[in-house]
Amino acid sequence: MIKNKFVQPFLKWAGGKRALFHEIKKRVPKSYSTYYEPFLGGGAVLFSLQPKKAVVNDINSEIINVYRIIKTNVEELIKELKKHKNDSDYFYKIRDQDRNSEIYKSLTDVQKAARIIFLNKTCFNGLFRVNSQGQFNAPFGRYKNPNILNEEVLRAVKKYLNENKIEILNGNFDDFISKIKKGSFVYLDPPYDPVSSTASFTGYNLDGFGKQDQIKLKEYCDKLNKKGVKFLLSNSATDFIKELYKDYTIEIVEVPRNINSVGSKRGKVDEVLIRNYDIE
């Protein structure tokens, strides 16, 4: 299948897989019936593979709303994005809309989707981060000319989502395991196990993703394995993760990481790719 180069992530994403995709691509099965991705995030792997049949999911309802609006109402989204401006006072006015329940409830789904794209493109380091009340709390990024609106990419993503059989879900990663049949391929990109006590990125979702969630995910992979479903999982190369998945094939890969509030801590890091099948 000829892939559309404009089908690409429309959000900046902490832990995005663009830098790792060349390693992921080497390990993707040559054939499978349906592609599943329980932790969709910025969608880098989905948009790089562009499968014709996929079921994708994320627990973050704000992000899933953006995908659904692009699929169903991209032209209204584009119109709404044109209203936003790269200004500090304006940024905080839009960011603080979720501090007032009446204001936030009055927003349409299109306005909510445009808000998330705008905040993502103009906030510091492109982080999607919420506080303990579930409110977006990344500060203004002070970029001179952020690319808030890329019409070509948004329209290409809409075309891809509509011309293929792509189901978009919003729930926990294990909500749809019963739907996954033998012959499918599942790519899992959970919030990573922190490499230090201060490295945990829990702000992506209100409830975070701790050690017990990592253990639950491993048990999920065991269920996939028993069903004869191929899975590929990425995570940080911590001793905890390597011990947890010791019964599967674990490969360490070096990946550049550019999103960190401390510039000196940006650079290459070790991650793992874990799979339950032989590369064809």
| pLDDT over 80 at 14, yes or no | no
Fold of 21-64+156-197+204-275: Rossmann fold (3.40.50)
Predicted local confidence at residue 198, as pLDDT? 53
Predicted local confidence at residue 166, as pLDDT? 98
| pLDDT over 90 at 280, yes or no | no
What digits encode the pLDDT tens for the residues 242-267?
999 999 999 999 987 665 545 445 57
Q: What residues does each domain of the chain span? A: 21-64+156-197+204-275, 75-151
What digits encode the pLDDT tens for the residues 135-146?
899 999 999 999
Q: Which CATH class is domain 75-151?
A: mainly alpha
Note the pTM of the prediction, 2 decimals: 0.91
What tokens appear for 173 in the block? 């990663």
